[in-house]
Amino acid sequence: MTPRDESTVPASTSSTTTSSRSFVGTLLAIRVNVGQFNFACNAYLYRALSVIRQTQYWVYEELTGLFAPSKFAAYEGMSFPQYERSIRGENGTARFDGAAARKQIEKILRRSFVEDSGAAELLVTWGESLAGPGVFDRVDRSKWRFIRLGESRKYWTFSSNPRDYRLREAARDLVEDTRTVDAQDIRPGDLVLLWQTRDREGHRGVVGFGEVLTSPAVQSQAQQGEKYSVDPRFLAPMKRVRYRNLRTSNVPLWLGPEYPFLAELPVARATGGSIFTLSPGRWHEAFAAAGGDPATDRAGAGTLKKATEDVEVSGGQGFRSESSVRIAIEQFAVEAACHHYEAQGYIIEKRGKPYDLKCTRGEEVLYVEVKGTITAGDEVLLTPNEVAFAERHAEEMELFLLHSVQLVKSDGAVTCGGGSKEIQKPWAIEKSRLTPTGYIYTMRQPA
């Protein structure tokens, strides 16, 4: 068997494990899985119908109007093929523990699944929009139970003048920090974008991200943040919130041509004030551009790629027929591969065809085929040219697969994040593992 090098990108520290499958550990990860299920329904509609009709415990995302089975929403790295295999316990896959899944969601949300006639009506509307009228005919709706995610979380921009507080350095160095607030309704769990106003070099823009940990209360500047205070007036007791800094790999994001969407943020257009409300979509767009991981609120592997909203999935590898989304997944995987091989000392040259990366280290030359997919990665699509090249260079060839990539939709945009990498080296293609997926038909019989 070809050697396999498997690791998770990024590793999770906030999940629980049952048997051999890990639970999600955050509200944001549940939201991602709800979106993932709805994307997957487009790909596997006929199989999805069976799941939809059998589900009794539903997670309802009020912000988007989307639903997902509790067992799909509760587990990490979920894809539809993986869901089906786990339901059936096939190929040695651990079966889902439905009761444990519900308890994990209830633990995160701190409330229980309940009867909810309003959500039930919306579920019917959602199901019929997905599969047409009658999708729930002869289903016992009295058994349905719901838990609402709601949109209790709010999004804010905390702006700071570098002549008062060195926010950029504080966001880089500190695990937690405090922020003065006024009468805003800021609560634990809210997400913030940290904005630096114009500095001496003329830069202004995003220097970090955070999650609020406490309600507003009168307190002094945190001791660890004192050295970043330029104006001593801000050290005095004031109404503040405490927040944790979310680590990203690509900050700062300076206002300018490279990140044109920043010009649309309220803080960029304001002439006064230091705290601004922000739409969820804008926060996630900036977080993605900064290399943040939406599934875990921690740094992802490379810059997350922005794609369009409407997608249609078309089969095993989970690639969207919408070209911009497909390209986004591919580019996200290529970025992860570049990080992997650069860490090993290779010089990377991006090619594209008939292989993706040429990696050199001294006299050593390595050719890498990169694949990205939202599924568990049991199958990948290969072109005839990719197969031919790999066969000719089997000793210098590696296959880099980033599977279980997460997609989340927000304000008409889709971002990629997370994923687990699997590497086959050397990659010697076995003919028995290749499956023809199409034919070329000659319209006219040769003379």
pLDDT at 68: 93
Per-residue confidence band for 18, with pLDDT thresholds at 50, 70 and 90: very low
Q: For residue 370, what is the enclosing H or E element?
A: strand 364-372
Mean pLDDT of 180-204: 89
Mean pLDDT across the chain: 79
Per-residue pLDDT tens over the stretch 218-260 = 887 767 778 898 888 878 888 999 898 988 888 999 999 999 9
- How far apart CA 191 and CA 284 sit, in angstroms, is 10
Length of the chain counted residue by residue: 447
Mean pLDDT of 422-441: 78
Mean pLDDT of 397-407: 86
Q: Which of 209, 100, 109, 193 is nearest to 150 (CA)?
A: 109
pLDDT at 40: 74
Which domains can be identified in the chain, with CATH numbers?
Answer: 13-148 (no CATH), 155-299 (3.10.590), 306-433 (3.40.1350)
Q: Which of 113, 114, 103 is nearest to 23 (CA)?
A: 103
Residue 65 · residue 119 · CB < 8 Å = no
Query: Three-class SS of residue 189?
Result: coil
Mean pLDDT lowest among 81-85, 318-322, 418-422: 318-322
